[in-house]
Amino acid sequence: MLKRGFLGVMAPIILLICFAVIMGVAVDEALAKEKKNITIILWHILKPSEESFKRVVEKVYDVNWTEVSAGQSKEKLEEILKSIDPAKTDLVYSYGTTVALATKKTIKDIPIVFNIVYDPIGAGVINSWEHSGSNIVGGSIKVSPEAQLKALRMIVNFKKLGVLCNPKEKQAVLGVEEFKALQDKFGYTIVVADFSSLEELNNAMRVFDEAKVDAVMCTSASMILTNAEAVANALIERKLPALSPVIEVAQKGVFMGLGANYANLGEKVGEIALKVLAGEKPNDIRSVTLEKFDMIVNLKSANKMGTAVPEKVLKLATEIIK
């Protein structure tokens, strides 16, 4: 009788415990992050933009990341794109204009999110900021050429403006065209020097020497970023103040940078990716750029050139390299 009574009392409790365990497992499964497969295609190496992008996406999804670099080779990029399996890929992230254009051309049945593209409309990555016209959407590092010219004019009242460009990179060519269009408005003459390999750097500098330019504008070419220290040293040797719309170029030695904070843009693009992964079509999502930009002043380079930096410029700077 004692055992039967004990079991009679405990049975409901045991049932409740079992029910709670079962429900706990069910809740854990419900709270578990959905798994996604995302491929990151780089032109060169991983940047803060990709790191912040990943952090945003991982807050919502359990992601299996595949990171591949084209090593600045279009042939390798083609091989990478051909190897992507649509059945095993939920999203493709493409870094830079060259990668974005190739990805858009090759991949039609997987959503694509691009980042660090200077002029996505001019380059043909998207049709408009509001509607891309295809399966791609993303973020731009575009800084208005007027803002770049005004920033450089705070240092030197240039009449001859050198523009360093890699003619093999579409976004760099677009930058040249923008500076050409503003010659009359800002009262300067443009001198373009091509730079598509490190071996051509001396020839490009010779163009600036012969034209006696007063300052230099670097376009957003990856060739300049890859060889930023060499470019900076060549400009410093000639005492030429220069500005780049890629702040990392200034961090590596070029006098001034006015551009997008890659980590901040990566977060914005991560938010776009969450919308895509939730089922929204890329064509229905607005591509983005940043409203505020970082200004980097490399005071170390300025001192080497003997260039005075006005106090108002130092106050505007988000980073001063000493």
The string of DSSP letters for 241-263 reads -EEESSHHHHHTT-SEEEE--HH
Instruction: Kindly indicate the confidence band of residue 25, based on its pLDDT and cuts at 50, 70 and 90.
Output: very low
User: Tell me, what's the pLDDT at 10?
Assistant: 58
Q: Which two tokens stand for residue 132?
A: 């891309």
What domains can you pick out in the chain, each with its CATH number? Answer: 34-141+261-289 (3.40.50.2300), 145-259+294-321 (3.40.50.2300)
User: Tell me, what's the pLDDT at 45?
Assistant: 82
Backbone dihedral region for residue 279 (phi beyond 0: left; psi -120 to 50: alpha; all else: beta) = left
Q: Are 264 and 290 in contact (CB under 8 A)?
A: yes
Residues forming beta bridges with residue 113, ordered by sequence position:
93, 137
Region 50-70 average pLDDT: 97
Cα separations in angstroms, 234 against 231, 251, 254, 256, 310 = 5, 15, 10, 15, 23
CA distance 283 to 39: 20
pLDDT in tens, 174-196: 999 999 999 999 999 999 999 99
Spatial CA neighbour of 224 closest among 258, 194, 203, 259: 194
Region 237-244 average pLDDT: 97
Q: Are 148 and 243 in contact (CB under 8 A)?
A: yes
Q: Which residue has the tokens 């016209």?
A: 133
Q: Which two tokens stand for residue 7?
A: 């079991």
Instruction: Kindly indicate the confidence band of residue 46, based on its pLDDT and cuts at 50, 70 and 90.
Output: confident
How many other C-beta atoms are found inside a 10 Å radius of the C-beta of residue 64? 13
Residue 70 has pLDDT above 60, yes or no: yes
Q: Give the lowest-confidence range in 44-48, 171-175, 192-196, 222-226.
A: 44-48
User: Tell me, what's the pLDDT at 246?
Assistant: 92
Query: What values do phi and psi take at 167, rounded to 5?
Result: -65, -10
Q: Which two tokens stand for residue 44?
A: 């060169």
Region 306-321 average pLDDT: 95
Q: Which two tokens stand for residue 19?
A: 């029910």
Region 222-250 average pLDDT: 95
User: Tell me, what's the pLDDT at 11?
Assistant: 59
**150-168 per-residue burial string, b: 16 or more CB within 10 A, e: under 16:** ebbbebeebeebbbbbbee
CA distance 68 to 233: 31
The string of DSSP letters for 136-164 reads EEEEE----HHHHHHHHHTT---SEEEEE
Instruction: Kindly indicate the confidence band of residue 28, based on its pLDDT and cuts at 50, 70 and 90.
Output: very low
End-to-end CA distance of the chain: 88
Cα separations in angstroms, 320 against 83, 172, 179, 228 = 44, 26, 26, 17
Q: Are 68 and 39 in contact (CB under 8 A)?
A: yes
Proportion of the chain above pLDDT 90, given as a percent: 87
Region 108-122 average pLDDT: 95
pLDDT in tens, 204-220: 999 999 999 999 999 99
